[in-house]
Every structure is written in structure tokens, then in C-alpha cells.
Structure 1
Amino acid sequence: MKESNMFIDKLSLIRLDNTFKATLCCCFFSYVTEYEEIIQHLHPQERNYYYTLKYEKRSSSYLLGRFVAKQAVAAITGEKYLTNICIQSGVFNQPIAVHNKQNIQVSITHCGGFGAALAFSEAHPMGIDVEQIKLNKRDVFEKQSTNLEKLELNSIPISYDMGLTLLWTVKEALSKVLKTGLTVPLNLFEISKIELSNYYIVSYYKNFTQYKAISFTIGNYMCSIVLPLKTKLSFNIQSLKSSFSFVESFNDVTLLNNFSK
């Protein structure tokens, strides 16, 4: 496994009365051999399930998702052996981290060869989603965007397709926090306000005002992390971006410099 293909960082979740810890793991794989290396890190239960998968795309996404999740859990718990961590599925297909520290939860996302996961305390809910910015996804994303959201996109200097991808990821990330997935109408997760920060974009929800989302690009991928509204998130976004500088950047002159590096 090439170290340059993986990024792990500790996140500080700062609140007025407490500070929580979380970990973020991101990976980008380009070759089949990189996926095959993950098999040795699977828990016996995970390995048994993996060998039942018949399709290459499902197999690769399973391996990538389990690997980033196990790395994130290992980083927050101090576990040295990934085989001691088992990522199971709940009744709503949500990931369940089985480890000796039972209050650790995990959120997983992957798109193509890019995967990411958050590990965090049960006391502080979070969710993550990543999606590749592609022009051919415009119609799908546009149908799931409200007029209010499109007006908000016009207020910030980013491309239309980048904005539509942002809206999709902040909604899907919240659905993971709420453990609904995409089984509910996405307009329930409507965005009421979008603001620019120094290194990311902040989105606020119309119906779930207790949460917010921060979004940023990694190459030509949009990544969104959802967390409680009153939590200040501290981590090295610039280091994350530079770790995946080899990933092709989205070629759009309207993107802000802060979001294309």
C-alpha cells in the first residue's frame, strides 16, 4: 500500500463546554493490486462476506470502504491490528464499528477509487460524503435541488456543477447522520443558506437547524462533513488537499482558488 495514497488526520471538535476527538481517513486507489492488498486486513467475518460478492465493482467498493473505516477506527482507538476491527451493517445498512470501545461510530463514503471515513464518539454525531464533480451528473443533481438552493448557489463564486455536487453531498452526509439514507425525499434536507469560509464552504439546513455541513474539494471530488451546528471543526485541510494533488483537478476557471488547490 503506497503511503502517498492514504491520508489520516486527527480532528478536534471544539464546543463551549467540551472538546471531542475524531479521525479522518482518505484513500485513493488506481490499481487492482492496491485493492487486493486490503484483503489481508479484513476481519474473518468481513472476509467471509467479501468472498460472496460476485461483481468487481461491488467487491472493490466494499474493500475500499472497509479499509478507510478500519483505518479511522484504529487511529482513534489506538488499535494496532485492523483485523481486530469489524465493520458490520445495521438494519438500515448503516456501518457499525465492532471493537472493544463500543462508543466509537463510523461514517463511510466512496466514489470511484476515492474513499473516506470518519471515526467519532457516539456522543458527537457526524457524517461524511464524497462525490466526483462531473458534467454528466447535472440532470440528476438538478432534479434534487430546490429553487431556494439554486438561488443560494448564485450567491457564491463557484461553478454550477460544483454547486450541485455540493448540495448532493451535504444532503447525503446528513442522511447518514440521521441513519435514513436516501429513503426519504431529499428536499427534507433542503439547504437554507450557504457561506464561504477561508478553506471551505458552510451550508445550513432549513429543517435540521442543529446541524451544519462543511464542504471542500479534493482534486475533482467534492467532500462534505456534517456536524453539530455549534461545533468548531479544526483539522489541516491544506495538508489533505496536497496529499491528493495527483488526483486530476476539475478544469473549471470559475472555481475559487481556495477550492481548486
Structure 2
Amino acid sequence: MLVPNAVKIQTLLMDRPIASGSFDAPDLLRATLAVIDLDAVNSPANDAALIRSYFHPREMDRRDRFEHMRRKDSYTAGRLAAKLALKHHCPSVDMQKISVEKGVFDQPILLADSSASDVAQLGISISHSDSYAVALIFHRAHPMGVDIDLPTQQDIAPVLSGLDEKTQRRFADLGLSDVACASLIWTARESLAKALTTGMMTPLALYCSSNITRQGNCFVLHYENFAQYKTHVWPGKKGWLALTMPARTDMKTADPDWE
């Protein structure tokens, strides 16, 4: 089993003015974040009992077809994070009746057997890094995206080379190191791309920020071309966590306790 300090699961509560006539559901502004610290666990692909209790038969079949353990570990960790988040979000749902599949843009989607139809209104976002597996469950009417990463030294120059002058000046004002700048902008872009379901196939210039502010330990980015979204980014020792949400939505809960 995963050791207790390796997994952190929490409910995120949000607030948003609802426009007249817009869709309003009881759980619209509730999301669940699950983070697995992969450095604190042995190979998650080896925990057969845990996997059987959470995985759909299709997921079991898929993981068994991976030949390389690194890829099997990555798949297993991401799916486990997804199922742990979903179980916390919907405690009564049988996880073996839910399968995390891929949509036409390779985005993760939740497919449920008929007896688990309660998840039909939910969306999911998943991210991996060398140290973490992260999943976010949210209402599909309130799109979100999550990413976690820590760019390598070789990644830093390519990430920073494409920044517009306005963003470069803002980073200088914030006094961030090159590693922090690259981590911040990369995870923010990835989480926005997941919320948009574009992946990183869109020219990076389209993700340019209109403003970057610091709020305590959190950075908040708004965008020139996607004004309907904003991204919260939290720095960490082994990775930076980014969460994209609609721009008019505010966090009611404290910053996620994810490290």
C-alpha cells in the first residue's frame, strides 16, 4: 500500500459570481486534488492489491501490456492519483466501474459503467513529473487544468528564449531566478493547455501572459489571448504546481498542502 505521507488529497472550494441564466450545479465550485510523492513510495506498479481495488478491467489490461517498467510506473501512478481524487470526490462510487480513457486530443476523460453514472458530469486533469503524480477532479461546466514539473537545466534556456519582453520585465520585477521563471511559465502553459484541451501543439506565443502577480507563496497569471482563464502556480522544492481555472473564479480554501 502507499504509505500515508506519500499521498495528499484535498478538497478545493471556489467562489464565482454566477451570471443570470448560466448553469449552476451544487458541486460546480468544488474540485479535488490528489498528489502522490513518488520519491516516498516504491514502484506503484508493484502494489497489485491496491491496483486491483482501484483499476477498471480495461485499465488493468492496458497496464499489463507495458513492456518497460518506467512506463508502467508512470501510467500506474497517474491512474492511481486519478482514482484517489475521484474516490475522495465521490466516496460512494466503485472505482472498478470507472475507467480513465483518452479523448480525441489525448486528454484524459472519465468513462463509467452504467452503475457509476454519477461521474458523467465530472472532468479530470492528470500530470506527471519525476517526483510527483497529480490528478484533479472538477465539474465539466467549470473547466480546469493541472500541471506539475521542474524543468531540467537543459530545459531552462529554450523555455526562456521565447518569452515576450513584457513577461521578461515582469519576471525581473519579481526577482525570480532563471530556474523559477522557467518552472513558473512552463507549468502555467501546460495547465492552461490542458484546460483548453489543445495540448502543447499551439504556438507558445499564444499563451503569453498579460499580468503576473505574487500573492503570498502563490503566483497568479492572466493571459493576453485567453482572458477567460487564470493560473495559480505554487513553487516547491521538487516541482512547481500549476492550477488553471476560469478567470472570474476565486479560491476559497487555503493554498493546497501538496508537498
TM-score category by the smaller chain?
A: 0.7 to 0.9
- Cα shift at 1:222: 0.7
Aligned to 1:67: 80
1:23 aligns with 2:32: yes
The total of aligned residue pairs comes to 241
**Aligned mates of 2:181, 2:198 — CA distance in 1:** 23
Matched, 1:57 2:70: yes
Q: Distance in 2 between matches of 1:36 and 1:62?
A: 12
**Counterpart in the other structure of 1:3:** 4
Quickly say closer, same or farther: Cα 1:219–1:83, change in 2 above 3 A.
farther
Across the aligned residues of Structure 1 and Structure 2, the Cα RMSD in angstroms comes to: 1.8
Checking the alignment, whether the CA contact within 8 Å between 1:133 and 1:222 is kept in structure 2 is no
Say whether 1:162 aligns with 2:180: yes
* Residues 217, 235 of structure 2: 8 Å contact kept: no
Question: Would the alpha carbon gap of residues 134 and 234 (structure 1) be closer, same or farther in structure 2, given more than 3 Å must change?
Answer: farther
Which of 191, 196, 210 is residue 214 of structure 2 equivalent to?
A: 196
Q: Secondary structure at the match of 1:60?
A: helix
Structure 2 Cα separation of the partners of residues 152 and 79 of structure 1: 46
Which residue of structure 2 aligns with residue 255 of structure 1? none
Q: Is residue 171–residue 189 contact of structure 1 (8 Å, CA) maintained in 2?
A: yes
Moved more, 75-84 or 106-115: 75-84
Alignment check: 8 A CA contact 2:45 2:72 kept: no
Q: Distance in 2 between matches of 1:212 and 1:120?
A: 16
Q: Match of 1:209, SS?
A: coil
1:46 to 43, 56, 59: 59
Aligned to 2:150: 132
- For 1:20-52, what per-residue CA distance to the aligned partner results, in whole angstroms no more than 9, with x for missing partners? 111000011235443322532221000111112
Partner in structure 2 of residue 78 of structure 1: 91
Q: Structure 1 residue aligned with 2:225, among 197, 207, 210?
A: 207
TM-fit CA distance, 1:133:
4.6
* Partner deviation per Cα, 1:177-223 (whole Å, 9 max, x = no partner): 11110111111111121001023010110100111000002322111
Q: TM-score, normalised by structure 2?
A: 0.87
Distance 2:43 2:128 in 1: 18
Distance apart, 1:80 and its partner CA: 5.3
Conservation of the 8 A alpha-carbon contact between 1:153 and 1:160: no
Contact 1:145 1:164 in 2 (8 A): no
Partner of 1:103: 121
The CA deviation at 1:141 is 1.4
> For 1:116-127, what aligned pairs fall within 5 Å after superposition?
116-127=134-145
Q: Which residue of 2 aligns with 1:248?
A: none
Helix, strand or coil at the partner of 1:163: helix
Q: Distance in 2 between matches of 1:159 and 1:67?
A: 34
Q: Evaluate the alpha carbon distance shift between residue 8 and residue 142 of structure 1 in structure 2; reply closer, same or farther with a 3 A threshold.
A: same
Q: Which amino acid aligns with 2:33?
A: L
How many percent of aligned residue pairs carry the same amino acid? 25
| Conserved? CA contact 1:70–1:86, under 8 Å | no
Q: If the length of structure 1 is used for normalisation, what is the TM-score?
A: 0.86
